[in-house]
Amino acid sequence: MKLSEHLISFAGQDLLLTNQRAVYWPQEHALVLSDLHLGKAAHFRKNGIPLPTTVSEQDLFRLQNLVLHYTPQQVIIVGDLMHAGANTEVALLRDLTTQFPNTRFILIKGNHDRHSLQQLQGWGIFAFFDELQLSPIRFSHHPRHNGHPTISGHIHPGIRIQMPHKRYARLPCYVVTKDQLILPAFSLFTGLDTRSISDNAVYYAIYGDRVFEVSP
Amino acid sequence: MNKTFEHTEGYTRITQWMQSRGNTPFGFQENTWKKYTHGYSGMVIAPTGFGKTFSIFLAVLIDFMNQPEQHKNGLKLLWITPLRSLAKDLARAMQEAIDEIGLDWIVEVRNGDTDAKMKQRQSRSMPDVLLVTPESLHLLLAQKGRATFFKNLTCIAVDEWHELLGTKRGVMVELALAYLKSQYNQLRVWGITATIGNLDQAIDVLLPTEKKRAKIVAREKKRIEIIPVYPDEVEVLPWAGHLGSKLADKVAPIILASKSTIVFTNTRNQSEMWYQLLLEAHPDFAGQLALHHSSIAGPIRQWIEDALSEGKLKAVVSTSSLDLGVDFKPVDTVIQIGSSKGVARFMQRAGRSGHSPFEVSKIYFVPTHSLELIEVSALKEAVKTQTIEAREPMVLTFDVLVQFLVTIALGGGFKPEDMLPIIKSTFAFSEINEEEWQWCIVFITQGGSIGRNYEDFHKVAQQKDGLMVVEKRRIAMLHRMNIGVIVSEAMMRVKFISGGYVGMVEEYFISKLKKGDKFVLSGRILELVTVKEMTVQVRSASGRAITPSWLGGRLPLSSNLSHFLRQKLALSTHPGTTEKELRFLHPLVARQNEHSHIPSTDEFLVEYIQTREGYHLFMYPFEGRLVHEVMSALIAYRISCLFPISFSMAMNDYGFELFSDSEIKLTEAELKDILSRDNLMQDVVSSINSTEMAKRKFRDIAVISGMVIQNMYGKQQNNKSLQSSSGIIFQVLEEHDPHNLLLRQAYTEVFNQQLEEQRLVAVFDRIHQSRIIFKFATGFTPLSFPIKVDSLRQSLSSEDLAARIAKLQERTLYKGKSEKEKRK
C-alpha cells in the first residue's frame, strides 16, 4: 500500500488528507474515514451476485495498514460501517479491532447502520453516536449546512476530470468548504456521485498514489 | 394423403376466404402452405406488405383443418415477434381471419403490457395462438408450469428474424427454440425475414438441426423511388448540418403536398432540431406536427402512433423509433434527413410509405451537406443490385447463456448432462468447450472457482437427484425481473416543477449539466431546477439551450454503402455521367480535383494541409465513423513511433483528420509504412485503451448475466442495497477474478464489434492494393472541410460555430481566388 498525504487547514486544525480515502488528524490522534460498507460483497452474494470475499478483505487490509502506520488513539468512522445485515464478512471486523486494543473504534450512525450498540460492541466498536463533537469539529454522517465545521460522508463524492480527446475520468475526492469536509467512501467497492458538486468548494481528487487539488 | 393439396378441405376453405376479401394467394404463400403440410420447417423471405404473416399463419390453419385429429387443445402456434407494438395489431388480424374462416381458435398476446390477471388465466389455460416477445417466452420458460404450456404446440414462428439476428435477443430465441425442440420433437419452426446479405446463414442460425428445411423466396419485389432534394446551389465547401436549415423551406412543401409524412432523422438531437426548423419554416404546422423518439414519454409516443394511424397528423419527425412496428396506412411520403448509413435501413424506411403490395415506396433524401448527394446515387445503385447488409450472428455470448440457465433452473430445473447437448445444438454455442461450460455451471452454483471466497452464494443449487434448481424466493424474484437482454441507459424522468411529465433523458447527459442550464427535450426549452433521485425537475425557459447528444446516437456507415460511395465518388469526375446528383455536384468535384484529387476506386487519398492553425493530415477510407475512430488512433500511434508528436483527431463517415500544431513530416515511403497492414491488430491494441472500451461493453454483460440489478423505475427502492454500477464490478473482477469468462467476453466484443477486426483488416488490405495519392494543399478542400467542421462543433457552442465556419469558408475561398488571380 502506497501512502501519500496532503496537508490542509480546516476549522483551524491541520488535517492530512491521504490517498487511501481517510484523513489523519494529528492533534487528536484520530484517523477519520467514512462509508466502509463492510459486508457489501457478501450481501450481494446472498442475493445471487457472485463477488469474491477478497473485495471486502482488501478494504480491511487497507484499514489495518493505516492503523499500523499512524497508530491512532481513535478511529472515527463517519457512518455506513456496515452495508446490510450481519454476515461472514462483517465478522472479519472483530479480527481487526482485537489487533489494536489501544485504539478506540468510534462509529457515527449512518443510514446503513441498523445495529444495536451491543451488537457493535461485539465487533469491537467502542462507542456509537448520532453525532459527535470533538474540539472545534463536529462529525455527522450526513453533511449539515448550519455554519458549524463538520466532517461528514454519505455522498461518496467524486469529480469528473477532463482528459485529452474529450474523455473524462471520474475520481473519488474530498470536498472542502469553509465549514464542510466531505469524505470519499473508504470502500473501493462503492460508486461515485459526481452530481452533488457545488462551485464554491475545493476538491482534492485521488488518483493512484496521489492526492491533488482540482477546481471544478 | 391421396388428394392433391389443392383439393384438401383446408386449402379450399382458405382460398375461398381470401377470394371473399378479393385476394388470391401469392406463389410464395402457397409454397409455404405445401411445405408446412409436408412437415417442413423453413424460412420465408418476402418484402413487407405482401402478406408474410399469412404464409405461415394460414399454413397452420390449413394443416389443422386437414387433420384436426392431430391437434389437441391448448397452445398450437407460438408466434415470436421482436416488437410489442406489432403484437396487438397482428393478433387482431389473426383473430379476424379465424372468425371469418369459421374456426373457434383464440389468439392472445403475452408481453410486458399484458395485465397480471390475463397472464394468470393464460398460465391455467393457454389460447390456441400466443404472440410473445423473446423476453416473454423466456419468462414462460421460467415458470414451474412450463411443461403443460407447450405440450400440444405444433409450430413456432419467428417474425422479423432479420431484426433479431445479430443481436443477443436473437441468441435468446436460439436458446429457447433449442430447449423447446428438445422437449417436443414434433415441432416445426418457421422464420420470416426481409432480404439480408447473409440469408443462408440466417437460416442456419434459426434452424441449425432441422433435416426438412425449406427456403421460400417471394418473387414479388417492392419498388422504391428515391428523390433527392437539391439545395439551390452547391456549396463547394460543405459542412454537415448547416444545409439542413436551408432545406427546411423545400421540405415543408413536400409535407404539405402529401397526406401524411414521416421525416426520419438519424439522431434524437437531429430530430429535435428538425422539429423546430419545420415549425419555423411553416408555423401552421403547429398542432399537426409531432416529434417521436425513444426519449419521449411512452404514452405520448403511443398517442402519436395512434394519431398517425388515424391520419390526424400531417407529419412526424422521428428517429429509428418508427423504423419498425405497425403500418401507418395514411403515410404516403417518407423523408430521410442525412445519410441513412446503410442500405437495409434506407429500404426499410422507404417501405413505411406505399404499403399495398404493388404500390411504389417513395422516399425523399435531404442531404445535410452537399457531399451527401453522392450517397443518393450510391443508394440507388445498392437498391438496384439488392446489395443489402449482412447481419452477423452473435456467438458465445456467455452472459445470455448464464441467464438462460438460471431461467431453466427456475422453471423446474435441469440436469447439466442433459443440458449441454441442447446448448451445443444452437448456432451460437456450437463451439462452446468443456471448460467454458463448466465455468458457466460454477458461475451460477458456486459463484467462482475459489470456493471459500464465495461463501453464502447459492443462486442455483443442485438437488440430490442432480437437478439444478433455484431455491430462494428472493433470487427467483430478482431473476424474473431481470430476464432479457435489452439494457437501457440509466434514464432519468424529466418533470416540470409544477407537475407534468416531459420525457426521459440519459443520466449521462444530466450529469454534465448544472443548475440553471437550459436544454431541449420533446421540442421544449427547459431549465434545470433540481435533481432528486432519478427525477430531473425543470421549468419552461426560452433562449439558447443545449440539445442532449444522446449516447450511441451516431450509427456507423455500413461497408456496403461505403463501397458504393467510393465507386460513385470516383465516377463523379467523368463529365458524361448520367446521374443527376453527381452532375449537380460538379462544382464541388471540380474544386476538389483542382486543389487536390478525386480518388478512383483503386486509389487511397491522403491530404496534408497547412493552415494558420497548424498542420492537418486527412485520410479518406470512406468506412464510417466507427472504423475511422480506430484508424485515426492507429495512424496517430504509428506516426508517434516515428517521431514524438501529439495530435487531436476528428472524423466523419468519409474520412478522418489528425491535427497538430507542429509539422507532420512524412515521406511517401513513411506514409506507405504507416498505412501498412503488417502488425495491424498489435498496433491497434497499443493505440487504444482497450480496458476502457471493454469496461463500456461490460455494461450490458453485467446486467444480462445478473451481476448488476437493472435500475427499474418504481422498483428501484426494493433493491437499493444491491445497487452498483457495471464499472465498479468490472474493476473488482479485473482485480480479483481476471479469468472471469464474462470479462473476457467484454474484450471479445470490443474486438468484434467496436474495432470490427474483420472490417479493419479488409480496409488495410484494400489500401495495400491501392495507389496512395499524397496531396499537399494550403486551404481546406471540399472533402476535408466537413471533417474539420465536425471537430469544431465538438468544442464550440452552436452560435459561435456558425460565425467561425463562415470565417473559415471565406478565408479558404478567398485564398483560392487570390491564388487564381496570381496565376493569371
From the list B492, B485, B111, the residue with the least C-alpha distance to B295 is B492
Longest dimension (CA), chain B: 96
Question: Quick one: pLDDT at residue A210?
Answer: 83
Burial per residue of A12-44, b for 16 or more beta-carbon CB atoms within 10 angstroms, e otherwise = ebebbbbbbbbbbbeebebbbbbbbbbbbbbbb
Question: Quick one: pLDDT at residue B552?
Answer: 46
CA distance A193 to chain B (A): 9
Average pLDDT over residues A44-71: 92
Q: Is B116 on the interface with A (CB under 8 A)?
A: no
From the list B407, B546, B370, B571, the residue with the least C-alpha distance to B485 is B407
Under DSSP, the state recorded for B322 is G
Q: With an 8 Å Cβ cutoff, are B510 and A46 in contact?
A: no
CA distance B737 to chain A (A): 8
Question: Quick one: pLDDT at residue B542?
Answer: 80
Residues from chain B that touch A185, judged by Cβ atoms under 8 A, are none
Residue B823 — very low, low, confident or very high, per pLDDT cuts 50/70/90?
very low
Residue B815 — very low, low, confident or very high, per pLDDT cuts 50/70/90?
low
Question: Quick one: pLDDT at residue B541?
Answer: 85
Question: Quick one: pLDDT at residue B62?
Answer: 96
Contact B413/B600 with Cβ under 8 angstroms? no
Q: How far, in Å, CA of B100 to CA of B182, rounded? A: 35
Is the dihedral angle over the CA atoms B6, B10, B11, B13 positive or is it negative? positive
From the list B578, B580, B591, B576, the residue with the least C-alpha distance to B235 is B591
Residue B679 — very low, low, confident or very high, per pLDDT cuts 50/70/90?
very high
Q: How far is CA A85 from CA A38, A58, A88, B615, in A?
A: 10, 20, 10, 61
Using an 8 Å CB-CB cutoff, list residues of chain A that contact chain B. Answer: 42-55, 83-84, 87-88, 112, 160, 164-167, 188-191, 194-195, 199
ipTM: 0.86
Residues from chain A that touch B687, judged by Cβ atoms under 8 A, are none
Residue range B402-459, pLDDT digits in tens: 999 999 999 999 999 999 999 999 999 999 999 999 999 999 999 887 767 787 788 9
Is the dihedral angle over the CA atoms B479, B480, B486, B487 positive or is it negative? negative
Question: Quick one: pLDDT at residue B456?
Answer: 79
Bridge-based pairing of strands B315-318 and B289-292 is parallel
Q: With an 8 Å Cβ cutoff, are B452 and A53 in contact?
A: yes
CA distance A40 to chain B (A): 8
What three-state secondary structure class fits B462?
Answer: strand
Contact B725/B695 with Cβ under 8 angstroms? no
Question: Quick one: pLDDT at residue B719?
Answer: 60
Residue range B360-410, pLDDT digits in tens: 888 999 988 888 888 898 999 898 888 888 999 999 999 999 999 999 999
Q: Which residues contact B517 (CB under 8 A, 6 or more apart)?
A: B527, B528, B546
Q: With an 8 Å Cβ cutoff, are A49 and B707 in contact?
A: yes
pLDDT averaged over chain B? 86
pLDDT at B800 over 90: no
The three three-digit cell numbers of residue A66, written as one number: 493505516
Residue range B78-125, pLDDT digits in tens: 999 988 777 888 999 999 999 999 999 999 999 888 888 999 999 999
Q: How far is CA B493 from CA A46, B321, B503, B512, in A?
A: 31, 19, 6, 16
Question: Quick one: pLDDT at residue B626?
Answer: 82
Residue range B478-492, pLDDT digits in tens: 899 889 887 766 677
Residue B609 — very low, low, confident or very high, per pLDDT cuts 50/70/90?
very high
What three-state secondary structure class fits B530?
Answer: strand
pLDDT at B298 over 90: no
Residue B799 — very low, low, confident or very high, per pLDDT cuts 50/70/90?
very low
Average pLDDT over residues B47-65: 91
Question: Quick one: pLDDT at residue B520?
Answer: 79
Average pLDDT over residues B561-583: 83
Under DSSP, the state recorded for B538 is E
> Side chain identity at B283, as an amino acid letter?
P
From the list B315, B310, B393, B379, the residue with the least C-alpha distance to B348 is B379
pLDDT at B794 over 80: no
Residue A142 — very low, low, confident or very high, per pLDDT cuts 50/70/90?
very high
pLDDT at B296 over 80: no
pLDDT at A191 over 80: yes
More confident residue, B548 or B519: B519
Q: Calculate ∠ Cα B164-B168-B171, nearest 5°.
A: 75
Q: With an 8 Å Cβ cutoff, are A47 and B722 in contact?
A: yes
Q: With an 8 Å Cβ cutoff, are B478 and A48 in contact?
A: yes
Q: Which of residues 22-41 of B touch A (CB under 8 A)?
A: none
pLDDT at B716 over 50: no
Q: How far, in Å, CA of B584 to CA of B606, rounded? A: 25
pLDDT at A171 over 70: yes
CATH number (domain holding residue A13): 3.60.21
More confident residue, B236 or B770: B770
Question: For residue B366, with 0-12 CB atoms within 10 Å meaning exposed, 13-18 middle and 19 or more buried, which class applies?
Answer: buried
Q: With an 8 Å Cβ cutoff, are B457 and A48 in contact?
A: yes
Q: With an 8 Å Cβ cutoff, are B454 and A195 in contact?
A: no
Contact B129/B103 with Cβ under 8 angstroms? no
Contact A141/A36 with Cβ under 8 angstroms? no
Is the dihedral angle over the CA atoms B368, B369, B375, B377 positive or is it negative? positive
- How many structural domains comprise chain A? 1
Bridge-based pairing of strands A168-176 and A158-162 is antiparallel
Identify which of A45, A47, A84 has the shortest CB distance to residue B454. A45
Average pLDDT over residues B590-615: 92
Q: Whole domain around residue A201: which residue ranges? A: 5-214
Contact B739/B442 with Cβ under 8 angstroms? no
A72-76, B243-247, B493-497: which has the highest mean pLDDT?
A72-76
All structural domains of chain B:
5-217 (3.40.50.300), 223-384 (3.40.50.300), 398-486+690-754 (no CATH), 491-540 (no CATH), 596-688+756-823 (no CATH)
Q: Helix axis angle, B373-384 relative to B559-571, nearest 10°? A: 110
Least confident span in A159-168, B522-531, B643-652: A159-168
Question: Quick one: pLDDT at residue B572?
Answer: 87
Average pLDDT over residues B224-253: 81
CA dihedral B345, B351, B353, B355 (to 10 degrees): -160
Average pLDDT over residues B535-551: 74
Under DSSP, the state recorded for B549 is -
Contact A28/A166 with Cβ under 8 angstroms? no
Q: How far, in Å, CA of B360 to CA of B650, rounded? A: 40
pLDDT at B824 over 70: no
Q: Is B385 on the interface with A (CB under 8 A)?
A: no
Q: With an 8 Å Cβ cutoff, are A53 and B455 in contact?
A: yes
Q: How far is CA A123 from CA A31, A128, B122, in A?
A: 18, 12, 52
More confident residue, A135 or B549: A135
pLDDT at B264 over 70: yes
